[in-house]
Amino acid sequence: MLDRLNHVAIAVPDLNAAVALYAGTLGAIVSEPMPLAEHGVTVVFIELPNTKIELLEPLGDASPIAGFLEKHPSGGIHHICYEVADILQARDKLRADGMRVLGDGEPRTGAHGKPVLFLHPKDFQGTLIELEQV
Amino acid sequence: MLDRLNHVAIAVPDLNAAVALYAGTLGAIVSEPMPLAEHGVTVVFIELPNTKIELLEPLGDASPIAGFLEKHPSGGIHHICYEVADILQARDKLRADGMRVLGDGEPRTGAHGKPVLFLHPKDFQGTLIELEQV
């Protein structure tokens, strides 16, 4: 089921400060900030040779990462996204094995314009997993 | 400075349960458990097409992940490891920029037999970063 690691997402309280750190001190290739109002985040992509890191800053009043940043005010690793070939097949297999899919279980369109689902961290050793059909 | 994402490490309280989940439910390619007494962990590698995930379970009385699991009893994402071409050059640049390198700042031999350093999570938005010279 699991294919490539699509990205690791890091929630940050101050995107400009994080960009300065990754582009400057860490010498990484960093995209322009991209506000995604419908996802409640502004995102910056850090391009690595084999995958990418996404820095997420809350956007708007109902950001899905607001609660995480309340618990971790300095920021932290928020989730890992794996690619899957068929997200509905993956969902059905996970549910058959007793795993919880977040929300209503219907894939929504993720930040890359592709179908995504999130899995309950309590079922995966405290790790919030995103699945993306590529 | 940052090159490939070498791995993402997830601390788990029960490696056998985690292996069953990743190999079975998530259909991933999972290695045999490898006890690394000198690192205080037993590690399992999850091989993805572009990188790997490492599942870490405490080993012995002074495991470096024991404190993390006390705070996160179900487990969680512990650190991200990036490859660098020259770890001493990376260390000196980071220190010159005011970043804290953990321990005495001398690279030690990591779980893959290569020189590694860890950076202070408070300097990197709550993310524990490992650098590995490959």
pLDDT at residue A29, rounded to an integer? 96
Q: List, as own/partner pairs, every contact residues B19-28 make where C-beta atoms lie below 8 angstroms and the sequence separation is at least 24, other chains included.
A: B19/B44, B19/B55, B21/A124, B21/A125, B22/A2, B22/B46, B22/B53, B22/B55, B24/A97, B25/A93, B25/A94, B25/A97, B25/A99, B26/A1, B26/A2, B27/A1, B27/A2, B27/A93, B28/A1, B28/A2, B28/B53
pLDDT exceeds 90 at position A134 = yes
Cβ–Cβ gap B125/A76 under 8 Å: yes
pLDDT exceeds 90 at position A82 = yes
Q: Does B95 touch chain A (CB under 8 A)?
A: no
Q: How many domains does chain B have?
A: 1
pLDDT at residue B119, rounded to an integer? 98
Residues of chain B predicted below pLDDT 70: none
Task: Identify the closest residue of chain A to B11 by CA–CA distance.
Answer: A125
- Residues of A known to be catalytic: 130
Question: What mean pLDDT is predicted for residues A76-98?
Answer: 98
Of A46, A48, A121, the CB nearest to B4: A48
Please report, rounded to a whole number, the percentage of residues in chain A having pLDDT higher than 70.
Answer: 100
pLDDT at residue B111, rounded to an integer? 85
Q: Which CATH number does the domain housing residue B46 bear?
A: 3.10.180.10
Asked whether B128 and A21 are in contact (CB, 8 A), the reply is no
pLDDT at residue A119, rounded to an integer? 98
Range of the domain at B12: 2-133
3-class SS shares of chain A: helix, strand, coil, % to 5: 25, 35, 40
| ipTM confidence score | 0.96
Q: How confident is the model at residue A111 (pLDDT cuts 50, 70, 90)?
A: confident
Task: Identify the closest residue of chain A to B48 by CA–CA distance.
Answer: A4
